[in-house]
């Protein structure tokens, strides 16, 4: 059977290209779903029906004329609201940028639009991507489609919830410490963080510049692979983007896992991991073993320091990156300031949320005179140790398997008053960002409340082809990815 | 490496970060940042003698472009979100007053 006919994005693209479905009808249908779900889920910050339908009609007209269509022509997608679009607002989930209209398009937006995709809306996020639940959005939280009393995860909660609720077949999020993978795990969809430098960050509002990557979200590994191919590649406007050639991520995806060495580290399966999550992850590893993979024990002794290391480096970088939000050139400006310093202080205090302020201050502290060496510099050295643990491990294995999160989705409000508890939830995801690895979360089961559990697979830098093959091998043997939350329409 | 996160330290850091805090916020952040930094203490026990720092996961190098003119944002585009525009400039209050000079 033709694999391309089976995954939602590839299937939709084919149906539109062949004329079986009109882009206008597809987009209209999805806009209806988005509208119907918005009050319940809060996945979107903005969406533009007029623009989306106009673009859809253009594609239908082009098709009718026999014109050439891009590989994603007519496919409706969503993009996280920290990614600059030259239409609508780019708010970063923040009051300060509530009315900010970007004068330029992010590289990934240009790539998707050139491929013919229709970006129907901008999705909700924790403010400036700082958070693990999308409760830190200045506007409203995004709710988990599986249980609307629970968090969707974050910071890319809006993009992930939109895909999980089948509002759009694919979306882009960003991942600095787990922000694509963690919500994907909580909402039962596939989310990938590419290798650092794989995807251009031009137009992604920077949080942690040495950690950030834009990543695709979809319900099927093949669609994630397809989106990855559509957005990857060198961009001279991002000095950290890699010139590494972009393979066809679909061509090897069915190669299976015979002989693939899957690493498992005890440091990932220790205390604090929910019993049911552990069970699902171990079962998933067995699935890979059954498909021909060899499971190998590896040691990552510095993993236990990943959260501390991450929260010093990311916040230090953030304190620098967010210095630009001062009310001078864009964003909300406070009234009545007598001098420039007051302007900065008042605009920032009024416009930035509590978690953003907390992280800016933590980062400022870590970089400040008298503390820089013991905190920021120390964290950079520990980062070297973490990275070298992975370099060693990847000499023995091809991918590393682990949980994505220590729990399934918890109730909204449960951790908002305890920042440290919130940070500790990132324990399995931050190391991939610190070491620049590629990593993916795939649906791996449900707990006894029916809440999704994700399996994380990590690969060495530019190891996406084998990573995707391993992820697809798991998907092919299970059907978790086909299960949709209650009250959602089919694909 | 143990640091006491007291209110003077929080006020100092807030001033560096150009953020104005209410007294309530100073108290709350002192407590929250204190707990987070206490957790960070564990890094002090890691042996990093002879370890080079990694600021960036890829090989460090300076990526330069040719020193050739290329198009940028137009002036209007660059000013399009200005809270207060005057001619082709961003208008701001005076830079210093007596006390902060």
- What is the per-residue pLDDT across A164-206, written as a single tens digit (0 to 9) for each? 999 999 999 999 999 999 999 999 999 999 999 999 999 999 9
Helix (H) or strand (E) holding A344: helix A340-351
Chain B residue whose CA is closest to A391: B57
Judge: A380–B40 Cβ closer than 8 Å, yes or no. Answer: no
pLDDT for A105 equals 98
- What is the Cα–Cα distance from A460 to A439, expressed in whole angstroms? 9
Q: Smallest CA–CA separation between A399 and chain B, in Å?
A: 18
- The answer to whether B43 faces chain A, any CB pair under 8 Å, is yes
- What is the Cα–Cα distance from A391 to A474, expressed in whole angstroms? 25
Single out the residue of B75, B63, B90, B54 nearest to residue A202, CA to CA: B63
Q: What is the pLDDT along chain B (101 residues), one digit of tens a residue?
A: 578 999 999 999 999 999 999 999 999 999 999 999 999 999 999 999 999 999 988 876 788 888 999 888 999 999 999 999 999 999 999 887 655 54
Q: Which 9-28 residues of chain B touch chain A by CB within 8 A?
A: 9-10, 13-14, 16-21, 25
Judge: B3–A420 Cβ closer than 8 Å, yes or no. Answer: no
- What is the Cα–Cα distance from A312 to A309, expressed in whole angstroms? 5
pTM over 0.90: yes
Q: Smallest CA–CA separation between A480 and chain B, in Å?
A: 34
Question: Residue A351 burial by CB count (10 A; 0-12/13-18/19+): exposed, middle or buried?
Answer: buried
Judge: A361–B33 Cβ closer than 8 Å, yes or no. Answer: yes
pLDDT for B18 equals 97
The position carrying tokens 């708010």 is A91
β pairing state of A399-403 and A452-459: antiparallel
Q: Smallest CA–CA separation between B87 and chain A, in Å?
A: 14
Tokens of A408: 């399934």
pLDDT for A4 equals 44
Active-site residue, from A22, A52, A80, A265: A80
Judge: A312–B40 Cβ closer than 8 Å, yes or no. Answer: yes
Q: Smallest CA–CA separation between A32 and chain B, in Å?
A: 32
Judge: A358–B56 Cβ closer than 8 Å, yes or no. Answer: no
**Angle, CA A140 vertex, CA A161 and CA B14 arms, to 5°:** 120
Task: Count other Cβ atoms within 10 Å, centred on residue A23.
Answer: 29
pLDDT for B99 equals 57
Tokens of B60: 């460090």
Ramachandran class of A301: left when φ > 0, alpha when ψ lies in -120 to 50, beta otherwise? alpha
Q: Which of A239, A319, A341 has the CB atom closest to B17's CB atom?
A: A319
- The answer to whether B71 faces chain A, any CB pair under 8 Å, is no
pLDDT for A422 equals 87
How far is the CA of A399 from the CAs of A240, A406, A458, B85, in angstroms? Answer: 24, 20, 5, 53
β pairing state of A213-218 and A261-265: unpaired
Question: Crossing angle of helices A354-367/B7-16, nearest 10°?
Answer: 90
Q: What would the pLDDT profile of A420-464 be if each residue is shown by its tens digit? A: 888 888 999 999 999 999 999 999 999 999 999 999 999 999 999
DSSP A338: S
| DSSP class per residue in A47-93 | E-HHHHHHHHHHHHHHHHTT----TTTT-EEEEETTB--SSS---TT
Q: Which of A374, A380, A461 has the CB atom closest to B54's CB atom?
A: A380
Judge: A197–B33 Cβ closer than 8 Å, yes or no. Answer: no
The question of whether A80 is a catalytic residue gets the answer yes
In the sheet with A118-123, reading across from the earlier edge strand, the strands are A44-47, A118-123, A76-80, A170-175, A213-218, A190-193, A438-446, A452-459, A399-403, A261-265, A294-298
Q: Smallest CA–CA separation between A486 and chain B, in Å?
A: 38
- The answer to whether B59 faces chain A, any CB pair under 8 Å, is no
How far is the CA of B80 from the CAs of A98, A323, A398, in angstroms? Answer: 15, 20, 49
Tokens of B8: 């003077």
- What is the Cα–Cα distance from A207 to A210, expressed in whole angstroms? 9
* Chain A residues with beta carbon closer than 8 angstroms to that of B96: 339-341
The question of whether A232 is a catalytic residue gets the answer no
Judge: A341–B84 Cβ closer than 8 Å, yes or no. Answer: no
Q: How many CB pairs under 8 A join A and B?
A: 173
The question of whether A179 is a catalytic residue gets the answer yes
pLDDT for B59 equals 72
Judge: A210–B56 Cβ closer than 8 Å, yes or no. Answer: yes
Task: Count other Cβ atoms within 10 Å, centred on residue A361.
Answer: 23
Judge: B92–A343 Cβ closer than 8 Å, yes or no. Answer: yes
- The gap between the terminal CA atoms of chain B, to the nearest Å, is 34
Residue A375 in contact with residue A366, Cβ under 8 Å? yes
β pairing state of A213-218 and A170-175: antiparallel
Instruction: Kindly list the averaged pLDDT for each block of 10 residues, start to end, along chain A of length 491.
Output: 69 96 98 97 98 98 95 98 98 98 98 98 98 98 98 98 98 98 98 98 98 98 98 95 96 96 92 94 98 97 95 98 97 94 96 97 96 96 97 98 97 92 91 98 98 98 98 96 86 62
């Amino acid at each position: 059977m033709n694999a391309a006919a089976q995954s939602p994005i590839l299937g939709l693209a084919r149906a539109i290209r062949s004329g079986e479905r009109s882009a206008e009808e597809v987009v209209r249908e999805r806009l209806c779903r988005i509208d119907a779900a918005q009050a319940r889920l809060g996945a979107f910050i903005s969406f533009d029906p007029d623009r989306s339908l106009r673009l859809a009609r253009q594609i239908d007209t082009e098709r009718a004329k026999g014109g050439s269509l891009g590989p994603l022509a007519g496919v409706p997608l969503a993009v996280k609201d920290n990614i600059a679009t030259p239409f609508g607002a780019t708010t970063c989930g923040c009051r300060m940028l509530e009315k900010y209209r970007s004068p330029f398009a992010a590289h990934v937006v240009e790539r998707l639009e050139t491929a013919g995709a229709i970006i129907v809306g901008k999705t909700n996020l924790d403010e400036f991507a700082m958070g693990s639940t999308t409760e830190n959005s200045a506007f409203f939280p995004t709710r988990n489609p599986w249980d609307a009393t629970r968090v969707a995860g974050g910071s890319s909660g809006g993009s992930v919830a939109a895909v999980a609720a089948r509002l759009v077949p694919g979306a882009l999020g960003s991942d600095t410490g787990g922000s694509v993978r963690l919500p994907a795990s909580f909402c039962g969809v596939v989310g990938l963080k590419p290798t650092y430098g794989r995807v251009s960050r031009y137009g992604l509002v920077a949080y942690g510049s040495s950690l950030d990557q834009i990543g695709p979200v979809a319900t099927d590994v093949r669609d994630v692979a397809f989106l990855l191919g559509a957005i990857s590649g060198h961009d001279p406007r991002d000095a950290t983007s890699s010139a590494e050639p972009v393979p066809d991520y679909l061509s090897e995806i069915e190669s299976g896992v015979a002989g693939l060495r899957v690493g498992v580290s005890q440091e990932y399966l220790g205390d604090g991991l929910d019993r049911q999550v552990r069970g699902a992850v171990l079962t998933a590893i067995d699935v890979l073993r059954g498909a021909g993979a060899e499971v190998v024990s590896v040691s990552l002794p510095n993993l236990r320091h990943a959260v501390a290391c991450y929260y010093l480096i990311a916040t230090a970088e953030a304190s620098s990156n967010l210095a630009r939000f001062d009310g001078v050139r864009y964003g909300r400006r406070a009234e009545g300031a007598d001098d420039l310093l007051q302007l900065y202080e008042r605009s920032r205090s009024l416009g930035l949320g509590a978690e953003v302020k907390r992280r800016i201050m933590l980062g400022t502290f870590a970089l400040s005179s008298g503390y820089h060496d013991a905190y920021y510099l120390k964290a950079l050295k520990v980062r070297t140790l973490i990275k070298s643990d992975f370099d060693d491990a990847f000499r023995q294995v091809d991918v590393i398997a682990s949980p994505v999160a220590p729990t399934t989705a918890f109730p909204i409000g449960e951790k908002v008053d305890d920042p440290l508890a919130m940070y500790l939830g990132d324990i399995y995801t931050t190391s991939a960002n610190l070491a620049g690895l590629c990593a993916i979360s795939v649906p791996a089961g449900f707990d006894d409340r029916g809440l999704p559990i994700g399996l994380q697979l990590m690969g060495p830098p530019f190891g996406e082809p084998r990573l995707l093959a391993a992820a697809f091998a798991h998907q092919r043997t299970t059907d978790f990815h086909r299960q949709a939350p209650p009250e959602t329409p089919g694909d | 490496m143990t640091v006491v996160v007291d209110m003077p330290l929080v006020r100092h850091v807030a001033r560096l970060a150009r953020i104005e805090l209410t007294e309530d916020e100073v108290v709350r952040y002192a407590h929250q940042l204190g707990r987070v930094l206490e957790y960070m203490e564990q890094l002090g026990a890691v042996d990093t003698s002879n370890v080079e720092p990694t600021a960036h996961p890829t090989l460090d190098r300076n990526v330069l472009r040719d020193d050739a003119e290329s198009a940028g944002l137009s002036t209007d585009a660059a000013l399009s979100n200005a809270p207060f525009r005057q001619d082709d400039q961003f208008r701001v209050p005076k830079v210093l007053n007596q006390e902060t000079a």
